Amino acid sequence: MNFERNILITGGAGFIGSHVTRLFVNKYPGYNIINLDALTYAGNLENLKDIEDASNYIFEKANILDTNAVDKIFNKYKIDGIIHLAAESHVDRSILSPMDFVYTNIIGTVNLLNTAKKFWTSFEGKKFYHISTDEVYGTLGKTGFFTETTPYAPNSPYSASKAASDHFVRAYGETYHLPVTISNCSNNYGPNHFPEKLIPLFINNIINKKPLPVYGDGNYTRDWLYVKDHAAAIDLVFHKGKDFETYNIGGFNEWKNIDLVMLLCKLMDDKTGNAPGTSEKLITFVKDRPGHDKRYAIDASKINKELGWKPSVSFEKGLSETIDWYLQNKEWLKNVTSGEYKQYFELQYHRR
Ligand code: NAD
Ligand code: DAU
- In tens, the pLDDT along 205-233 reads 999 999 999 999 999 999 999 999 999 99
| Superfamily per CATH, domain 198-222+254-294+315-345 | UDP-galactose 4-epimerase, domain 1 (3.90.25.10)
Judge whether residue 246 has pLDDT over 70: yes
- Partners of 58 in beta bridges: 34
Residue 1 has what pLDDT? Answer: 78
44 vs 191: CA distance, rounded Å: 13
Residue 344 banded pLDDT, cuts 50, 70, 90: low
**Rounded to an integer, what distance in angstroms lies between the CA atom of residue 305 and that of residue 337?**
42
| Residue % of the chain over a pLDDT of 70 | 96
Category of 244 on φ-ψ map: left (φ > 0), alpha (ψ -120 to 50) or beta: left
Which ligand 1 atom is nearest residue 197's CA? 41
Mean pLDDT within 103-121: 98
pLDDT at position 327, please? 98
Cα distances (angstroms) measured from residue 166 to each of 72, 243, 273, 308, 312: 25, 14, 46, 24, 27
**The pLDDT value given to residue 111:** 98
For ligand 2, residues with CB inside 6 Å are 89-91, 133-135, 186-187, 197-198, 201, 213-215, 220, 222, 257, 289, 296
- Give the pairing of strands 254-256 and 221-226: antiparallel
Can you name the residues that pair with 237 across neighbouring β-strands? none
**DSSP code, position 298:** B
Known active-site residue 135: yes
φ and ψ of 53, to 5 deg: -100, 5
Rounded Cα gap, residues 330 and 326, in angstroms: 6
* Band of pLDDT at residue 338, cut at 50, 70 and 90: confident
* Domain segments of the chain as ranges: 5-189+224-249, 198-222+254-294+315-345
- The predicted-structure confidence for 261-286, as pLDDT tens digits, reads as follows 999 999 999 999 999 999 999 999 99
> What's the whole-number average pLDDT of the chain?
96
pLDDT tens figures, 114-153? 999 999 999 999 999 999 999 999 999 999 999 999 999 9
Residue 4 is predicted with a pLDDT of 97
Please check the confidence at residue 30 and state whether its pLDDT lies above 90. Answer: yes
Q: Which atom of ligand 2 is nearest to the CA of 91?
A: 14
In this model, does residue 67 exceed pLDDT 80? yes
- Ligand 1 geometric centre to CA of 38 (Å): 11
Which among 217, 268, 230 has a CA at the least distance from the CA of 14?
A: 230
Global pTM reads 0.97
Answer whether residue 194 shows pLDDT above 60.
yes
Q: Are 64 and 36 in contact (CB under 8 A)?
A: yes
Higher-confidence residue of 346 and 233: namely 233
Q: Does 342 have pLDDT greater than 90?
A: no
Q: Which helix (H) or strand (E) holds 176?
A: helix 157-176
Q: What is the mean pLDDT of residues 292-306?
A: 98
**Of 261, 136, 122, which Cα lies nearest the Cα of 205?**
261
d(CA 287, CA 280): 19
Sheet holding 57-61, edge to edge: 57-61, 31-37, 5-10, 81-84, 127-133, 180-185, 246-249
**pLDDT of residue 351 exceeding 60:** no
Look up 60 and say whether it is catalytic. no
The span from the CA of 337 to the CA of 75, in Å, is: 36
Nearest protein Cα to ligand 2, atom 28: 198
Nearest bound ligand to the CA of residue 298: 2
Residue 295: which pLDDT band, with cuts at 50, 70 and 90?
A: very high
Residue 316: active-site member: no
Question: Among positive and negative, which fits the CA dihedral 144, 89, 269, 257?
Answer: negative
Per the CB < 8 A criterion, the answer to whether 116 and 122 are in contact is no
Select from 161, 182, 187 the residue to mutate for testing ligand 2; criterion: most ligand atoms less than 8 Å from CB: 187
CA dist., res. 199 & res. 226, Å (int): 12
Task: Compute the distance between CA of residue 251 and CA of residue 269 in angstroms, rounded to an integer.
Answer: 26
| Residue 352: predicted pLDDT | 44
Q: Which CATH architecture has domain 5-189+224-249?
A: 3-Layer(aba) Sandwich (3.40)
For ligand 2, atom 20, which residue shows the shortest CA distance?
198
- Categorise residue 273: left if φ over 0, alpha if ψ from -120 to 50, beta otherwise: left
- Buried b vs exposed e over 21-56: b needs ≥16 C-beta within 10 Å? bbbbbeebeebbbbbbbbebbbbbeebbeebeeeeb
Q: How far is the CA of 309 from the centre of ligand 2 (A)?
A: 24
> What residues line ligand 1, using a CB cutoff of 6 Å?
10-11, 13-17, 37-40, 42-43, 63-65, 85-89, 104, 108, 131-133, 162, 185, 187-188, 194
What is the mean predicted confidence (pLDDT) over 93-120? 97
Under the banding of pLDDT at 50, 70 and 90, the label for residue 311 is: very high
The pLDDT, as a whole number, for residue 343 is: 64
DSSP-based helix, strand, coil % in the chain, nearest 5: 45, 20, 35
